[in-house]
Amino acid sequence: MDSQLEGGPVVRVGPHEVDISDITAVKEIHRVKDGYRKAPFYQNLVPNTNNLFNTLDLEYHRHHRRLLSSPLSESSLKSVEPTVDDYVKTAIASMKREMDERGTADVAKFWLFMATDIIVELSFGESFGILKHGKKNQYIKDLEGLAAKGSIRSTFPTLTTIATKLPLPIFKETAAAAQRIRDYSAEAVARYKRYVANNPAAAKPTLFKKLFEAGEAGLSDEEIRAEAHAYIVAGSDTTATTLTYLVYSVCCRGDVRQKLVKELMELPDDFGHSDLRDLLHLNNVIDETLRLYAAAPSALLRVVPARGAHLAGYFIPGDTVVSTQAWTLHRDPDVFPNPETWDPARWEKGSKLMHDAVMPFGGGSRVCIGKHLARMELRLVTARFFRAFPNACVSSIEGMSQDDMELRAYFLLTPKGGRCLIQLD
């Protein structure tokens, strides 16, 4: 990714792949009208299933997105806001207890537990209780194990296929983990479906409730299971990582923290998400974190239409893979002066060019379907955290240092140390 910052907006990275960071070209590639379909990379990344994220079938994607988008719209999310907010409050209470007992709290851990419990409950009707128990269950361990192998599967698909035939323990365990995930997801979907059928008025609102009520007009149980699985993968680590870097960044900048806390303390005690949507400093902090620490900064691969295309001054032949990635776009010094500096104030007079250059949730018809839920979580968490801990600062206990927060980018972003310790000043 750094090579593009040095080599210009168009870099050939393989025999049939070109990386592009020209904003006009990126908008063309990720236009709402389908033209540049997803590359086979996504099927290799998440094999043996089809869902909204990895499907290459345009009609399949249109059909599923039409059915799934309504529950994730800003208006529909009001029905699940109480569930989200309850988990936010529980996470912050857990941090308070850990600070009292340990002198510091690992916010990275609690944000992961919280985000996972939220998306699991919104998918299956009940959470794993990870936040309550304070540790990961087998399902999450299995998900993490398979996700960690995703980059290997997508880069070396043939080798991976061959490897699965070898009688080695690591491959047997991978197969067992995949089966456990399928079994649990199928059981959870069936359990919630029965509950909706038997207690329609009492059933908790979830992202799939209307689909169960629609019966054959919706999706099959297997399709819902596959989509729920994709939601959990996409809605846990990503949200947790963004929140971790947001809290860390604010705690490193006393001036920003002071302005943010002042704004938040003016909220009514019974504030909700609607009270946060237009807060200047809060949303600037979120936008700047999404710029510098986009949770999925790596290449988004698309295939050029058969007729070919003119992009960034070059003719790109049909069927060439073109990749775009937030890492380079978000660090363009011509758009964002001092791009490596986390500075929320840059958004106070954010230009159209700046807004066009940021794509933390992807773009076009394949933009992240959960972006409104993500922003709801980011706003509620940031507001409640800094109202609860107005003097929060980065801890030096247990050897915590800036080195722990060094960026590690695979397909998703993660802090090198896997932790972020915060204490009260």
pLDDT tens-digit map of 214-266: 665 578 888 888 898 889 888 999 999 999 999 999 999 999 999 999 999 99
Cβ-count burial of 292 within 10 angstroms (0-12 exposed, 13-18 middle, 19+ buried)? buried
> What average pLDDT does the chain have?
90
The arithmetic mean of pLDDT across residues 379-402, rounded, is: 97
pLDDT at 150: 64
**Mean pLDDT value of segment 46-54:** 86
Please give the annotated binding residues, written as ranges. 368
CA atoms within 13 A on the CB side of 255: 4
Of 249, 262, 298, 295, give the one whose Cα is nearest residue 2: 298
Max Cα-Cα span within the chain: 64
Q: Check residue 193 and give its pLDDT.
A: 83
* The dihedral sign for the CA sequence 160, 164, 166, 168: positive
3-class secondary-structure state, position 424: strand
d(CA 52, CA 310) in angstroms, rounded, equals 28
Backbone torsions φ then ψ of 119, nearest 5 degrees: -70, -30
Mean pLDDT for 135-142 is 84
pLDDT tens for residues 267-286?
999 999 999 999 999 999 99
**What global pTM score does this model have?**
0.92
Other beta carbons within 10 Å of 333: 10
Q: Which three-class secondary structure state does DSSP give residue 226?
A: helix
Higher pLDDT: 296 or 274? It is: 274
Backbone φ, ψ for residue 269 (5° rounding):
-60, -30
Going by the annotation, the residues of the binding site for heme are 368
The pLDDT value given to residue 5: 55
Helix (H, G, I), strand (E, B) or coil at 374: helix
Structural domains of the chain in order of their starting residue, each with its CATH number: 31-296+360-424 (1.10.630.10)
pLDDT for 118 beyond 90: yes
Cα R_g (the chain), whole angstroms? 22
Task: Please tell me the distance from the alpha carbon of residue 381 to that of residue 360, in angstroms, as a whole number.
Answer: 18
CA distance 270 to 178: 43
